[in-house]
Structure formats: structure tokens, C-alpha cells
């Protein structure tokens, strides 16, 4: 059974800082990797995904994936107060519809 762990549990950073969120997974056959963001009281919304080893950048957000290390991460450049939210990583194998989520990192960006 897939085990997905996130670190840190919570993080407070000043506006403009670079933020790094981490996710480790246990199933080496995992193929698809997602970051979802959930603002307080709102529905989770997909932020970014990556399907092969390496790096993917979209605006201020970058995902790194290292399948051999069973690790992927989300980096936020120039963090903004509007980035304050619960960040959830999620992992999926190819032959099942199951997406397994971590418990999340609560990010607070102080103005």
C-alpha cells in the first residue's frame, strides 16, 4: 500500500522568500505526481503535475522529481500572501484510478 509523507507539516515564510515543500512516496512503481493547493474553506485545486524525472517550471512554481529517491518537491519563488494554503502532494500508479494524498503542508506567507 502506498505511503505518502510530506514535510514540513507547517511553514511560515516572509513575503518574497523561496519556499520548498517535500513529498516522499513508498511505491517505486508510481508514475504520476501532483501538487494540489487548498485555500482555507475551499476545494483542493490542482497546481502542477510531473510524469518523468527532472524538473518542470510554471511561473513561480517548480516541481522536482527523483524517482530513484522516491522524492518530489515543490518550490515557490517570490512567495506571496495569496500562496498561503494547505499544499497536498499526490501520487498514482498507472494501473489504478487511486490517487494517494499526503497529509499536507500548511504554508503561511507573512506580508
**Of 110, 107, 83, 108, which is closest to residue 14 (Cα–Cα)?**
110
If one counts every other C-beta atom within 10 angstroms of the C-beta of residue 100, the result is: 18
Instruction: Name which position in 49, 61, 67, 70 contacts another protein (CB under 8 A).
Output: 49
Instruction: Name which position in 45, 57, 66, 80 contacts another protein (CB under 8 A).
Output: 45
Q: How far apart are CA 67 and CA 30, in angstroms?
A: 8
**Residue 101 in contact with another protein, rule: CB under 8 A:** yes
For the bound state, the minimum distance from the C-beta of residue 16 to another protein, rounded and expressed in Å, comes to: 26
Stretch that binds another protein, among 54-62, 63-71, 76-84, 85-93 (CB under 8 A): 85-93
For the bound state, the minimum distance from the C-beta of residue 51 to another protein, rounded and expressed in Å, comes to: 7
**Of 69, 71, 44, 75, which is closest to residue 57 (Cα–Cα)?**
75
**Residue 77 in contact with another protein, rule: CB under 8 A:** no
**Residue 99 in contact with another protein, rule: CB under 8 A:** yes
Q: How far apart are CA 82 and CA 80, in angstroms?
A: 5
Amino acid at each position: 500500500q502506498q505511503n505518502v509523507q510530506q514535510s514540513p507539516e507547517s511553514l511560515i515564510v516572509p513575503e518574497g522568500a523561496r519556499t520548498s515543500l517535500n513529498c516522499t512516496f513508498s511505491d517505486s512503481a508510481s508514475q504520476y505526481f501532483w501538487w494540489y493547493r487548498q485555500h482555507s474553506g475551499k476545494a483542493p485545486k490542482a497546481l502542477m503535475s510531473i510524469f518523468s524525472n527532472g524538473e518542470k517550471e510554471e511561473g513561480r512554481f517548480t516541481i522536482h522529481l527523483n524517482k530513484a529517491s522516491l522524492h518530489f518537491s515543490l518550490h515557490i519563488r517570490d512567495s506571496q500572501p495569496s500562496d498561503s494554503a494547505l499544499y497536498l502532494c499526490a501520487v498514482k500508479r498507472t494501473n489504478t484510478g487511486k490517487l494517494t494524498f499526503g497529509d499536507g503542508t500548511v504554508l503561511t506567507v507573512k506580508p
